[in-house]
Structure 1
Amino acid sequence: MVKSKTRWKIEEVDQELALQLQQQLHISPLLAQLLVGRGIQTAEAAEKFLGGSLQDFYDPFLLDGMDAAVERIKRAIAHGEGILIYGDYDADGVTSTSIMIHTMRMAGATFQYYIPNRFTEGYGLNEGALVKAAESGFSVVITVDTGISAVKEAELAKELGLDLIITDHHEPPETLPDAYAVVNPKKPNCPYPFKMLAGAGVAFKFAHALLGDLPHHLLEIAAIGTIADLVSLVDENRLIAKLGLKALEHSVNPGVQALKKVCGIEGKVSAYHIGFGMGPRINATGRLETADRAVKMFITSNPEDAERYARELDDLNRERQELVEAIAAEAEQLVLAMPEEETNVLVVAKEGWNEGVIGIVASRLVEKFYRPAIVLSINSEHGKAKGSARSIAGFNMYEALTECADILPHYGGHPMAAGMTLAEGDVPELRHRLNELARKWLTADDYIPITKVDAVCRLSEATLETIEQLEKLAPFGLGNPSPKILIEGVEIADLRTIGKEQNHVKCQFRQDGVTLDGIGFKMADQAAELTLQDEANIVGELAVNEWNNQRRAQFILKDLAVPGLQVFDWRGTRNKSEKIKQLDGNAPARIVAFREKNRRQLEQHAGGWRTLHLEPNSATRQLVLYDLPHSYQELEEALGAQPELERLYCLFDEEPNTLPSLPSREQFKEVYKTVYHHKTLGHNDIPLLAQAKKLTPSAVLFILEVFRDLGFLNRDEQSYQLAEAKEKRDLTESIVYQRQKEALELETELLYSSYQSLRAFLKRFTLQDAPVKEKIYHGF
């Protein structure tokens, strides 16, 4: 048995609706299931989801406050007033700022932009920047991706004579800033039909409203910000992402071209390229320094400058990666040193950790330990700790921090992520309280990750044509994840580790004569738990593998389970001691030696195998059959006492059977005739008789013992003698004959059979084989 690493939560799908979509749209059953699972229930909605065009964008003036914002900017442009674009330092803020800069250029505005420093100014609109803007002669400040909580700052802007326009997408507070205009789809009573735009999406809508036409050339930047900000890729976000990704393939923006080059992106651009290539490089500037260079890259018209900025972003990203690796390693060591009662929620803190990357480190801790995690950077000079939190399903981090509000002067966020500031001396108390809350709120199952399974199918459904249809669901991201598919009861037909560090698994699955290639990245640790021809349930993603201009279906393995008993075929192993040592450190195992000689030898080694024990009838999950049993009953007693047996390792350190086969009835007759004629046969004469009858001495001895067992012969220390005449008896009435026959049958079944036959044979002796098997031994 191999247990899955995660809890599989299978999406319930209305099969009638799925069948209707399949028939109406002429699509595969699998694609129809996935559409219904994503809440798409009509052919019209499905066509819009799978297609999407420029005509599907909503009217930007449906955003409450857009009329006033556009009117004020147009008036400022007409009168030559100075406009300050106020942005943010993450990827969404950078792209929002860049979109607004391109927009103001096209509109002929007099403007500058400003992005606060993460380390000296912190997040959001700040009073110092507003004062400086007023002193510099600006009359309008327009924010992007920030400002919705700037109540005090809005009051100051009024006092300074600044008209403040806020464009944002974050959750609004109970009291909105008293600004000239507030544009946010989440604003109370805003009629905009889609509420989940990213900051870059709101900026894009503003550009559309101000310029009068949809700004096609800004779609690519809007897509980068939308995907990098991890907003839900549905509705208009999906449209921005889908059309923007297409635009990225043919971009003429020097900054975008340079960024693609340092990311190694050629040809088709996917959400993956942004999430793991472009986004991290843009974010690196704001995490380590200021975000200016990323903005300059997107807005420059000079290819050489763009390439220089892109290389600098790439260098900063490498520096960021090294920094994250170093801090993550330190944080993991702190976790490993924690007492058990402090590991329900991981709270780690250290002096000097870079505040710009502690959120990434918190995510690393969640990924490694699957526990809610808070990583804090200590500033001992000010006696403060500033941290980032990431959580798991079932533990609402924002609510947990609210429970600790008395020791948290500043905190904010949502159920899965948050930030906070507190006194350095309160860190132990925060750790204690959060662990207490976790003990109340979470169960043991909550500490096992969840994998949402979108659909279940047979291997035969995973065709190249179906997978190509599934590609229409892209781009994938939050709210529209890459579909996770469950295929049950597949045979593992091929299995090997690959990669420079041999940490990936290449495999092949088979079901009903159909095969499918598979690959599991960083899953080599599970390869040791598997054996060829295991019957597994697999969860993963269907993809197209393109190689040498050939396209083949492929399964990207994410998790697997092997239900029931696994049988490992270790027959023929030369170094059995080393093989057994491979089990050391895993779940405790039992080793069974049926033969006394082997048992004595194993007892001498057992001290070096700290997880292995020699008691054959004690319960275990792992059992090693070291040698051949003498009878079916011995095998029954060894396996029948294991109600929870998961893995059975077959070494069978066989002692060659003295008889390769049972002598024929004719050979029995020939030996008996000789004894009958001479009335006695000395033990020393057995080799001569064997030579004369073309038998082995052991075969002659076996025949003599069968006759003695049947009462036809007597035996003493010197010889076998003819017994008094008795009634005729069949050879099969002899226990000696039956035991030898049984031993030979067992040898054939256990040593010379195929793996499939061996597995089927052994499963007949386990308690897991339902209904309870019939006893197939003879019960002597």
Structure 2
Amino acid sequence: MIQSKMKWKFTYNEQEDIGPVQDGLTPLTQQLLFRRNITSPEAIQRFLHPTVDDLHDPFLMEGMAKSVERVKQAVEAEEPILVFGDYDADGVSSTTLMIEALREAGAQCDFYIPNRFTEGYGPNEEAFQFAADSGYAVIITVDTGIAAMHEADVAKQLGIDLIITDHHEVQETLPDAFAIIHPKTSTEYPFQELAGVGVAFKFAHALLGRFPKELLDLAVIGTIADLVPLHGENRVLASIGLQAISHSRRPGIQALREICGIEGDMNEETIGFTIGPRMNAVGRLQDASPAVDLLLSESREEAMEIAAFIDQLNQERQKIVSAIAKEAEEMLMDQGEELENVIVVAKEGWNPGVLGIVASKLVRQFDRPAIVLGIDAEKGQAKGSARSIDAFDLFSNCMEVRGRFLHFGGHAQAAGMTLEVDQIDALRNDLNTLASQKLAPDDYQQVLEVETSVGLEDISLQQIEEVNRLRPFGMGNPKPLFHVKHTPKEVRLIGSKKNHLKFQFQQDQAKVDGIAFGMGDLYSQLTPSDSLDLIGELGINEWNGRKNLQIMIKDLCVKEWQLFDLRGSKHVEKNMEIPHGQHYAAVSFHGSEDAPHDLPVLTVDQFEEGQHVDGLVIVDMPSKVVDLEALLQKITVSKVYVCYRIEDSAFLKTWPTRDHFKWFYGMLRKREAFDLNKDTELLAKRKGWDRSMVDFISQVFFELEFVKIDNGLVTINSQPSKKDLQESVLYQQRAEQLRIEQTLYYSTYTELKDWFTQHLNKQSKIVKEEVFHGL
């Protein structure tokens, strides 16, 4: 058996009533929409065909009218406006969008993005003083500012009108700004989940008095990269924004396409895994201004130069992340104890710009919230990022210990913070206490929400195209996960490091490839007959014009017991791995003390009744089949490894029939004597027998007292008793040995598996399956 690493939550019920299938939909599409609570014809139409008509009036947002009026006054008075942005993909695209909207409105404007390393996150007093000294009368923040209480007071003292546009979580007190444009502070606004660039886009719409479609290619970057829920207005901006960016003539976008090798239309994965990371990389390693310069550039040559520089920074970022993640993992492993509920690691010299990515890696690896901090020894401060699991709301829990931080902000699943170094241990203790109070053991498992089960024969190009009607996928509209149960035709390791698995599934004419990234360690734990239960995403792999159906596997399990056939192998240890934390034991029927991996070798009597063994290693064959049958009934097992070899095989020797015995006895009666030492070789050659068969027949006759043997001379017993061959112990032993070898050694894998299945304790074959219904 192989346990799943994640918690599978089946969100469907086979008996659920999705209603009559509406025109233009397949049952699968309607089923997927039903689970997203999209049931009415109007809601379905809006979801599958989002348009700009589904967007809300930007003036419903509080502070919008006042802010637009202030900008228009600045344009008329020729007062310069400073756009204060953030250094991530959302902040960079927000800054670019706001600059272009202000320029279109006739404003004199420029942008300012704080340096992550010297200024930290969000508005700061020094930057505002610089703005005042430079003559700026208005500052508009984008994707930041909702926690800038002190800075708002500074702006007021400096005579600057501060307009805050943001979408981050609202804290207890709001800044005393000229105006705040934030969905969650606007009681009349119908949608509260916009990204920072979404709020900036609404501002541009209101300021320009028209729908600014030319800014959609910017709006889609932050909307998807910032992982906001892709429903409501975000779905509209993402959907039509993907169309816009796919056909964008913006030099910066075209340069990114060329540098990254993007062909054809872009989708949410292009933004999430290609464009977004490069936009983020700039601010992670240095000042983020080049990312804005790229998007604002009107020159192809300039754009190509900046894009190449950004791509180089991204490669450097990847190396730094890898190095820090390795150090953090080693620190956690060196603790030697069970991991705490919340991981908090800190070290001097770690680049604070990439610590959010490192935290994400730790969350995926250890299935628990992670805070990763870089220590500045001169300031005595630690600065970093946090990522969390679904069950632990980072924002609300950190707000319970807000006093530990110098600065803090973020969302339920991601946050940034600065604190004094001497507060790190206290923070670790506080958060671990909160987690122990609020979380159950299975909360630490990643949850996979399964949309439905499909048979291999049901996976088709048409079905996958149906699933793609729900794109773009993301937060709030996850890519559907499907459950498939099938035995693979082939399993092999792939990748330069052989750390990925590729399965080939086939049933009749249906062929589907399965790709399991990072699961190469399971290769040695799989057997040829395993029926896999797997959860994955359906997709199409197109190569050289050919389209192959595939399922990207997220998790898998084997619910049945497994047989590992290592009979006769000289490389048992190499082919057998013992998973961490599992109980393995070896059994010997003949007193052997040797077992792979120095496992304890037990006799049958040393196993307890009802004992469970994860892996039972059989190092030799029993003399009687019933001895092994008794053991299999006595214990429960998940995996059986047959590792025995045969030195002297009865099966490979000729087995004498009754006619052989009859002929030999008749020959003795005629000759009266037979010399085993002199005549055996000649007889065996003449009759085509094995020499051992002559010896065996003679020994059986001797045991039954049919003959006498004296120094190898066989003679007839003048008064033999009447006995059957079956009464010979030697004959019975050889028959039993032959049966054992036929059953346990020379059988096919399938025959051996069937035999074990027949004799295993029933509890070994019962799977206790937890099914989580999110109904």
Do the structures match in fold with TM over 0.5? Answer: yes
Instruction: Determine the C-alpha separation between the residues in 2 that align with 1:431 and 1:163.
Output: 40
Asked if the contact 1:335/1:343 (under 8 Å) is kept, the reply is no
Instruction: Determine the C-alpha separation between the residues in 1 that align with 2:522 and 2:225.
Output: 32
Instruction: Determine the C-alpha separation between the residues in 2 that align with 1:220 and 1:173.
Output: 31
Q: Call closer, same or farther: CA 1:558–1:568 in 2, change over 3 Å.
A: same
Asked if the contact 1:496/1:507 (under 8 Å) is kept, the reply is yes
Q: Which residue of 1 aligns with 2:521?
A: 525
- Are residue 673 (structure 1) and residue 672 (structure 2) matched? no
Q: CA deviation at 1:94?
A: 0.9
Q: Call closer, same or farther: CA 1:653–1:769 in 2, change over 3 Å.
A: farther
1:467-503 alpha-carbon deviations (Å, 9 max, x no partner): 1211222222222222222112x11220111122222
Q: Which residue of 2 aligns with 1:778?
A: none
Q: CA deviation at 1:134?
A: 3.9
1:108 partner SS = coil
1:290 counterpart (281, 287, 293): 287
Q: What amino acid is aligned across from residue 526 of structure 2 in structure 1?
A: L
Q: Call closer, same or farther: CA 1:611–1:44 in 2, change over 3 Å.
A: farther
Q: CA deviation at 1:69?
A: 2.6
1:360 counterpart (349, 357, 360): 357
1:388-436 alpha-carbon deviations (Å, 9 max, x no partner): 2222243343454345445434434444333333322232333334344
1:609 partner SS = helix
Instruction: Determine the C-alpha separation between the residues in 2 that align with 1:300 and 1:580.
Output: 58
Asked if the contact 2:259/2:311 (under 8 Å) is kept, the reply is yes
- Are residue 767 (structure 1) and residue 761 (structure 2) matched? yes
- For structure 1, the 5+ residue unaligned runs are 773-780
Asked if the contact 1:172/1:186 (under 8 Å) is kept, the reply is yes
Instruction: Determine the C-alpha separation between the residues in 2 that align with 1:175 and 1:689.
Output: 107
2:626 counterpart (625, 629, 633): 633
- Are residue 609 (structure 1) and residue 597 (structure 2) matched? yes
1:705-733 alpha-carbon deviations (Å, 9 max, x no partner): 55566665566665353364656x66556
Q: What amino acid is aligned across from residue 761 of structure 1 in structure 2?
A: W
Q: Call closer, same or farther: CA 1:41–1:704 in 2, change over 3 Å.
A: farther
Q: CA deviation at 1:83?
A: 2.5
Q: CA deviation at 1:588?
A: 5.2
Q: Call closer, same or farther: CA 1:151–1:626 in 2, change over 3 Å.
A: closer
2:313 counterpart (302, 308, 316): 316
2:184 partner SS = coil
Q: CA deviation at 1:198?
A: 0.4
Q: Which residue of 1 aligns with 2:717?
A: 722
Asked if the contact 2:567/2:642 (under 8 Å) is kept, the reply is no
2:487 partner SS = strand
Q: CA deviation at 1:638?
A: 4.3
Q: Which residue of 2 aligns with 1:776?
A: none
Instruction: Determine the C-alpha separation between the residues in 2 that align with 1:686 and 1:586.
Output: 57
1:649 counterpart (610, 619, 642): 642
Q: Which residue of 1 aligns with 2:6?
A: 6
- Are residue 397 (structure 1) and residue 391 (structure 2) matched? no
1:339-384 alpha-carbon deviations (Å, 9 max, x no partner): 5266333222222322222222222222222332222222222222
1:58 partner SS = coil
- Are residue 743 (structure 1) and residue 737 (structure 2) matched? yes
Asked if the contact 1:13/1:33 (under 8 Å) is kept, the reply is no
Q: CA deviation at 1:37?
A: 2.4
Alignment of structure 1 residues 25-40 onto 2, 5 Å: 25-29=24-28, 31-40=29-38
Q: CA deviation at 1:159?
A: 4.5
Instruction: Determine the C-alpha separation between the residues in 2 that align with 1:26 and 1:654.
Output: 66
Q: CA deviation at 1:273?
A: 2.0
Q: Which residue of 2 aligns with 1:777?
A: none
- Are residue 102 (structure 1) and residue 100 (structure 2) matched? yes
2:12 partner SS = coil
1:369 counterpart (336, 350, 366): 366
Alignment of structure 1 residues 75-114 onto 2, 5 Å: 75-114=73-112
Q: What amino acid is aligned across from residue 542 of structure 2 in structure 1?
A: E
Q: What amino acid is aligned across from residue 20 of structure 1 in structure 2?
A: P
1:644-664 alpha-carbon deviations (Å, 9 max, x no partner): 342323444453226645433
Instruction: Determine the C-alpha separation between the residues in 1 that align with 2:577 and 2:141.
Output: 61
Q: Which residue of 1 aligns with 2:501?
A: 505
Instruction: Determine the C-alpha separation between the residues in 2 that align with 1:625 and 1:733.
Output: 31
Asked if the contact 2:698/2:714 (under 8 Å) is kept, the reply is no
Q: Call closer, same or farther: CA 1:618–1:585 in 2, change over 3 Å.
A: farther
Alignment of structure 1 residues 58-69 onto 2, 5 Å: 58-69=56-67
Instruction: Determine the C-alpha separation between the residues in 2 that align with 1:400 and 1:26.
Output: 43
Deviates more, 1:745-754 or 1:558-567: 745-754
Q: Provide the TM-score with structure 1 as the length reference.
A: 0.89
Q: Call closer, same or farther: CA 1:89–1:467 in 2, change over 3 Å.
A: same
Q: Which residue of 2 aligns with 1:460?
A: 457
Asked if the contact 1:680/1:719 (under 8 Å) is kept, the reply is yes
- Are residue 559 (structure 1) and residue 555 (structure 2) matched? yes
Q: Provide the TM-score with structure 2 as the length reference.
A: 0.89
Instruction: Determine the C-alpha separation between the residues in 1 that align with 2:112 and 2:198.
Output: 19
2:449 partner SS = strand
2:488 partner SS = strand
Q: What amino acid is aligned across from residue 745 of structure 2 in structure 1?
A: L
Instruction: Determine the C-alpha separation between the residues in 1 that align with 2:306 and 2:575.
Output: 57
1:197-241 alpha-carbon deviations (Å, 9 max, x no partner): 101111112222222332222111110111111111122212211
Instruction: Determine the C-alpha separation between the residues in 2 that align with 1:16 and 1:341.
Output: 42
Q: What amino acid is aligned across from residue 487 of structure 2 in structure 1?
A: E
Asked if the contact 1:386/1:420 (under 8 Å) is kept, the reply is yes
Asked if the contact 1:14/1:36 (under 8 Å) is kept, the reply is no
1:755 counterpart (749, 754, 757): 749
Q: What amino acid is aligned across from residue 590 of structure 1 in structure 2?
A: A
Q: Which residue of 2 aligns with 1:150?
A: 148
2:55 counterpart (37, 54, 57): 57
Alignment of structure 1 residues 407-426 onto 2, 5 Å: 407-426=404-423
1:546 partner SS = strand
Q: Call closer, same or farther: CA 1:316–1:690 in 2, change over 3 Å.
A: closer
Asked if the contact 1:126/1:153 (under 8 Å) is kept, the reply is yes
2:242 partner SS = helix
Alignment of structure 1 residues 422-571 onto 2, 5 Å: 422-488=419-485, 490-510=486-506, 514-571=510-567
Count of paired positions: 759
Q: Call closer, same or farther: CA 1:75–1:377 in 2, change over 3 Å.
A: same
Q: CA deviation at 1:519?
A: 1.4
Deviates more, 1:132-141 or 1:709-718: 709-718
Instruction: Determine the C-alpha separation between the residues in 2 that align with 1:11 and 1:380.
Output: 49
2:689 partner SS = coil
1:117 counterpart (115, 118, 123): 115
Deviates more, 1:127-136 or 1:260-269: 127-136
- For structure 2, the 5+ residue unaligned runs are 608-612, 767-775
Q: Root-mean-square deviation (CA), in Å? A: 3.1
Instruction: Determine the C-alpha separation between the residues in 2 that align with 1:707 and 1:43.
Output: 90
Asked if the contact 2:676/2:695 (under 8 Å) is kept, the reply is no
Asked if the contact 2:489/2:503 (under 8 Å) is kept, the reply is yes
